[in-house]
């Protein structure tokens, strides 16, 4: 019996959890602060982040495959993780995702929660109060979730 739907679901959950761990716990402060710089340092920081993130995804995926006895092939795993890694690097260079957001008329949402937002979070004294809850972050994460979905489809189907 073909259980590709179950395989897809298990793979997607493993990748989603690994994404959260890799993006928030494994990524270094140096990578997070510099991966969007428009220079060699930015490309290196983003590349290192994507490598550690992809390794995290591969490890958690392999654990799920072993424990659940998932039927996945090496080609599907390599293709799926490769597509996900490429899409993650593209978005995490920051200017690329920002340009996409502007092209999709999402400037106001993208700027939400930042000093560029006229309603930005403020301290009791009216100064800017930094927050992780920005529109840019929400668009970044939803972009990554879309590609996790694509990667899980590839892994389960190939």
Say what the pTM is. 0.89
Domains of the chain: which residue ranges?
4-157
Asked which of 3-12, 81-90, 126-135, 142-151 is least confident by mean pLDDT, the reply is 126-135
pLDDT of residue 15: 98
The pLDDT of residue 127 is above 70: yes
DSSP sequence for the chain: ---HHHHHHHHHHHHHHHHHHIIIIIS-HHHHHHTT-SSHHHHHHHHHHHHHHHHHHHHHHHHHHHHHT----HHHHHHHHHHHHHHHHHHHTSHHHHHHHHHTT-HHHHHTTSTTSTT--B-TTS-B---S--HHHHHHHHHHHHHHHHHHHHHHH-
Task: Provide the 10 A C-beta neighbour count for residue 8.
Answer: 18
Provide the pLDDT confidence category of residue 112 given band limits of 50, 70 and 90. confident
Max Cα–Cα distance, the chain, nearest Å? 64
User: What pLDDT digit, counting tens, does each position of 64-111 carry?
Assistant: 999 999 999 999 999 999 999 999 999 999 999 999 999 999 998 888
The pLDDT of residue 115 is above 80: no
């Amino acid at each position: 019996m073909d259980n590709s739907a179950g395989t897809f679901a298990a793979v997607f959950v493993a990748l989603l959890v690994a994404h959260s761990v890799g993006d928030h716990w494994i990524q270094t402060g140096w990578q997070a602060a510099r991966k969007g710089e428009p220079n060699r340092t930015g490309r290196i920081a983003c590349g290192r982040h994507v490598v550690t993130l992809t390794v995290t995804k591969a490890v958690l995926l392999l654990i799920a495959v072993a424990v659940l006895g998932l039927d996945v092939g090496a080609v599907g795993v390599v293709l799926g993780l490769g597509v996900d890694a490429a899409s993650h690097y593209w978005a995490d260079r920051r200017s690329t995702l920002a340009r996409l957001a502007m092209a999709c008329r999402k400037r106001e949402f993208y700027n939400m929660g930042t000093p560029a937002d006229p309603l930005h979070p403020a301290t009791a004294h009216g100064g800017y109060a930094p927050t992780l809850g920005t529109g840019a972050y929400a668009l970044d994460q939803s972009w990554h979730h879309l590609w996790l979905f694509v990667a899980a489809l590839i892994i389960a189907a190939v």
